[in-house]
Chain A
């Protein structure tokens, strides 16, 4: 069983090309594992399960070949759900951003950490952005209390992660400080940069926006070393309307070819 985990520095479920590229990657990762239509579940816990988060997620995936769902722990009263069964039946579990401290506290209260670890070991793809990316590591830099400061994660992956890396200079500064002062070494991810772990080897770096980078951040004898990682560029897929036009064009072309009109 290959474990897969995708950590993203920051993105939105929006219609910008770089956002569509991230969605496409999530869909592709879910599809590699699925036998039928891939099942993708969002956990919006870190943001307090806002309806804005879930509706953007559904807007991004409902027209795509997959089965999207959301597990909103604050909304279970309205829609009870068997947590373990639902999560373990997914192909990809996506964790959205927000407060890392609250995310872990609420997960702990609902004993979700163990379930997610189990899902990961079963080969279910784990993914997330911002707090939803840092939560898989031993530690991260969170602004859960206002100022950026170190916070613990679940520790499925060893080391640490800092998100919104060059987008929030004060967060990067806090991270460099923390790594210099004994936080385990790790990675910095700009918005629209990502790291994909497949199996036990080192991660591969990805970027959905020109200039967005992933960094390896380690403590050395002469201070903290920050080295950018070579990243594969994720091209943006065509927007939904254009996809239909292209499909239509191809259908027409096939018909013409079948009819021999184009010789």
Chain B
């Protein structure tokens, strides 16, 4: 088993390297760009699904749209369109903050009849967590995969956490159940991806193994960290928690090289609310 080399990165300092140093202007910079800028923000975990009371990542993606009252569509497909998840989305995205909607692919008789028209009219499409394997299956069955690519090319900001992060990449490590699996995603971003990338997790070990076995290079993010891609380039890593980080992983020779990427913490206050489990895990359990 080849061992991994981990570079410490820049730690907590404000030096984010030449690519990342423009912390103040980075966000505003995107606002002034043309509307056809393709943007994806892939959360390792976090946002309203996991960080009740910490809106930093959700605020970040709303601001990226550049709209005063952005149109946001939530896609809870990976959770089987769980009702409680949809309710939590609407609570976190109230009318004064944005114009919120959702698409339930399990209840098509309700909601917008023309999925393409609805999705292409959004400023932000927000994909929830759950099973990425089921998510991709359902999306392909309804042609959502093609619509999302079109939306991305037209400048609709795409974001999501967990399964909603993995789906945008060419390859992904799914740790949803049992041993981590290697899954093919939509491929908008030509990399691999691993979420909830925490020290000593089985996902982390599995990701390194997959990379050694030929998985393409890619990015990982811890809970609270988000990878912001412009086009297919990583433009910055932001975080809702002071210590959350993103990582770049490459295979050099027969070794995995894991590099911690300098991350911009989005909050001023360094004391943040604790992470909550993913919504899927919060579903009412029935006695089995």
Contact = CB atoms under 8 A, between A and B. Distances in A.
B32 interface: no
Contact of B80 (A69, A74, A79, A109): A74
Interface residues of B, number: 34
Interface in B238-288: 278, 280-281, 283-288
A99 B281 contact: no
Contacts of A3: none
B34 interface: no
Given A74-B131, A110-B134, A98 B281 contact: no
B76 to A, nearest CB: 9
Interface string A63-85: 00000111011111111111000
Contacts, number: 98
B199 interface: no
A104 B141 contact: yes
A51 B131 contact: no
Given A50-B82, A102-B138, A109 B133 contact: yes
A32 interface: no
Given A55-B286, A70-B288, A145-B108, A80 B177 contact: yes
A106 B137 contact: yes
A58 B287 contact: yes
B79 interface: yes
A48 B106 contact: yes
Contacts of A104: 141
A78 B280 contact: yes
A77 B106 contact: no
Contact of B176 (A50, A54, A77): A77
Contacts of A99: 105-108
B80 A50 contact: yes
Given A48-B106, A49-B80, A77 B131 contact: yes
B278 A145 contact: no
Contact of A48 (B81, B137, B278): B81
A47 interface: yes
Contacts of A105: 137-138, 140-141
A72 to B, nearest CB: 8
Given A47-B106, A48-B81, A51-B283, A145 B137 contact: no
A108 interface: yes
A101 B141 contact: yes
Interface in B73-95: 78-83
Q: Give 9 closest A-B pairs by Cβ, nearest first.
A: A48-B80, A109-B137, A105-B141, A76-B177, A74-B80, A105-B137, A48-B106, A51-B284, A80-B177
12 contacts: A50-B82, A51-B286, A58-B287, A62-B287, A73-B131, A74-B79, A76-B178, A77-B131, A99-B107, A102-B105, A102-B141, A109-B136
Interface of A: 45-51, 54-55, 58, 62, 68-70, 72-82, 98-99, 101-102, 104-106, 108-110, 143-146
